[in-house]
Structure 1
Amino acid sequence: MNGLSSNLKSLGLLGAGFAVGLLAKELYPRASDAIIPSPRETQLPYLSPSEQARLPYPPDALPGARDIPSPYGSLRVYEWGPKHGRRVLMVHGISTPSIALAAIAHALVRCGCRVLLFDLPGRGYSSTPSPTVHAQTSEFFIATIFFVLASSSLSWTGPNSFSILGYSLGGGIAVNFASCFPSLISSVILLAPSGLIRPYHFGWQSKLLHSARLLPDWAVEQLVYWKLSSSSGQDQRQSGTVIEDELPLTEQCGDEPARGSKFDIPMALEWQVQRHKGFVKSNISSLRHAPISGQHHQWIRMTNALSNRDTKANQQAITSHARQGATMLIMCGENDPVIIAKELETDSRELLGGSKNLLFVITPGAGHDFPITHSKEVVDTITKFWGHQSHQIEARS
């Protein structure tokens, strides 16, 4: 009995020591843990060019690729299109990298736009700081955007410099950015944006894993890893692929042929889960700290900031296309199980106070991935929206 008691006591001390060690690692991460590298550093050096080309997300997937240093690690950025075209910054969602917006980006370039995309920290080919060092808050993402803007050889920071397009989590990020820096924004385009998800849509499992923090981080990471591995291999197989050479062109964009390429988005998600050491950590940190829900005050702040800026612009009789007043376009899929279209429309219209600058469009028969599956409809709506805005400005002149 004494031996058994001694063994149990030893096991107890070992367990306590293990727990203390985990806690210490959480509270005081080593310097080497501060930046978690992306597959650009951990996988690509060991692959031949042909093997890289066969990846679900090849490193040359989009034109104008560059990797920029930042305090948050290396960030993957893409920029291409006419230098003097309308500038569009595009922010993707919580899980899929920037190739989720590839079809829209290529179509907008054919419409004469200059596009700028980047992989959010911890996604695709972007590194990420450990969440114990930098949580993925709105401020974190806003700072990341400025690192990306500053990396361009063109100026993206003058008055009404660019339109910001955000998809899913990227929509929530776009709202917060526009609310803080309205003078930079010429228009806000939100595709199934986060930020206003009603609380009752979060079940006890989500609250346990991402809000209450009743479980140690390593346990949460393992559970989320299993969940993402399962969803990327099964449920998300129902999502479409991005096939740019089959993307019809809009009437406004001429007849230039699209760049032929094909991306399997579910496979890209699975690749991230398996190959990006910071992906699961980033996913969890975003769910805990990013603008997912409860962002009503930011939407109001954005509306007021843009309205005040537009009023000043009208008083100065600004009529040039380059300095037009900011407008907002919100699109959502009719069958989106994540962002409920009718709820979003009701809540956004209430918060925006019936703003004349708001256009809300519901895409029939579409789900949360409608920017991928219905990219033609998205581009058609965006270009017509911009055309209507320009027409209004010319009428005022």
Structure 2
Amino acid sequence: MTPDAALLWAAAAAGAVPALREALRKPMTEEVRRAAPGAFVDLPKGRTHYCWLGRQRGPIAVCVHGLTTPSFVWRGLARQLASLGFRVLIYDLYGRGYSDRPKEANTPAYFVKQLHDLLAALDVDGDITLFGYSMGGVIASGFAAKYPNMLRRLVLIAPAGMQTDLGRTAKFATEWPVVGDWVFHMAYPSVLKRGYRAEREVAKSVERLEEMQLAELTYRGYLRSVLSSLRYTLRHPIPAIHKQVALNGVPVAAIWGRDDTVIPIAGLGQLAQWNRKAHQEVIEGAGHGLVYTHTDELGDMIARLTGLRA
């Protein structure tokens, strides 16, 4: 074999590694889904996993999770919301948790359609308090821009869409097709693992959170969906969406973590420019995981914002 041929063979072999690793991951099967809490519904773009928590009757809270951690991230705060009298709906975005992994661009419109389809399937037609955490803030804001009459209010928690620090690996992958895909599939699992383990000693309101987060990496289609979301939902700010929400007159509250390094608190000022009526609060000492690390403080703030009490 000539040196050039050997080099080409080595390059081809290296290029095939991510695809091989992905093929070795577990598919999301009905057998796996039998262990899931809650229920499933078949929507136009794929099967979606959801759970109702709290009371059988009452005002409805719908919670949209973020980029990498599916609906179980809400379990602690859902208990707080239930204690305020909410009937709480959590669900897995396409590509995460127990939901399907369609091979489509993960745009805000794609996720807004999933949420609208889910609510229609569950006969939920309005008077919703919509919560969006991290990337879920982009999706929830997009929903408020398109379907304002369905919402009582919008609550954004450490919301993406303003300024987001994706990290070097994710930033490179979003900018460079093909080679970026290779780098992302090879390097990003280690990035996620380091981030999860950095919070290992932090008290959390969600049991076995790190274990469940790491398990996501073992399922086929997860990394592809995360990368697609980085490229099509998180890559750029969304001023037009927030300005439309303001024009629609949807009451907006945003809650930020003072020490958040993923979505810096500077986003507070950006949101104020786009929607001057947005009410904003800051939790001191909280990082990006405030949904599960500062659950009690969040619950107290939400009680004040909504006028509800446990």
Q: Shift in Å at residue 193 of structure 1?
A: 0.2
Q: Shift in Å at residue 350 of structure 1?
A: 1.4
Q: In structure 2, what residue type is equivalent to 1:171?
A: G
2:259 paired with 1:335: yes
TM-score by length of 1: 0.69
Structure 1 residues 209 and 340: CA distance shift in structure 2, 3 A: same
- For residue 272 of structure 2, what is the aligned residue in structure 1? 349
Q: In structure 2, what residue type is equivalent to 1:363?
A: I
Structure 1 residues 285 and 239: CA distance shift in structure 2, 3 A: farther
Q: In structure 2, what residue type is equivalent to 1:337?
A: T
- For residue 281 of structure 1, what is the aligned residue in structure 2? 224
SS in 1 for 2:179: coil
Q: Shift in Å at residue 227 of structure 1?
A: 2.4
- For residue 68 of structure 1, what is the aligned residue in structure 2? 41
Q: Distance in 2 between matches of 1:20 and 1:265?
A: 33
- For residue 161 of structure 2, what is the aligned residue in structure 1? 195
- For residue 228 of structure 1, what is the aligned residue in structure 2? 192
Q: In structure 2, what residue type is equivalent to 1:156?
A: V
CA contact (8 A) 1:37 1:128 kept: no
SS in 2 for 1:237: coil
Paired residues in the alignment total 302
Structure 2 runs not aligned, ≥5 long: none
- For residue 300 of structure 1, what is the aligned residue in structure 2? 243
Q: Shift in Å at residue 88 of structure 1?
A: 1.0
CA contact (8 A) 1:334 1:366 kept: yes
Q: Distance in 2 between matches of 1:177 and 1:281?
A: 24
Q: Distance in 2 between matches of 1:269 and 1:69?
A: 24
How is 1:361-380 mapped onto 2 (pairs within 5 angstroms)? 361-380=281-300
Q: Shift in Å at residue 334 of structure 1?
A: 1.1
Structure 1 runs not aligned, ≥5 long: 26-32, 46-51, 53-58, 244-262, 307-325, 389-397
Structure 1 residues 68 and 376: CA distance shift in structure 2, 3 A: same
Q: Shift in Å at residue 186 of structure 1?
A: 0.8
SS in 1 for 2:125: coil
SS in 2 for 1:186: strand
Tell me whether 74-83 or 168-177 shows the greater mean CA deviation. 74-83
SS in 1 for 2:43: coil
Q: In structure 2, what residue type is equivalent to 1:185?
A: L
2:41 paired with 1:41: no
2:89 paired with 1:116: yes
Structure 1 residues 100 and 292: CA distance shift in structure 2, 3 A: farther
1:204-252 C-alpha deviation (Å, 9 max, x unpaired) = 54332122326163443122223223433x3232443325xxxxxxxxx
- Whose radius of gyration is greater, 1 or 2? 1
Q: In structure 1, what residue type is equivalent to 2:246?
A: T
Q: Shift in Å at residue 197 of structure 1?
A: 0.8
CA contact (8 A) 1:91 1:167 kept: yes
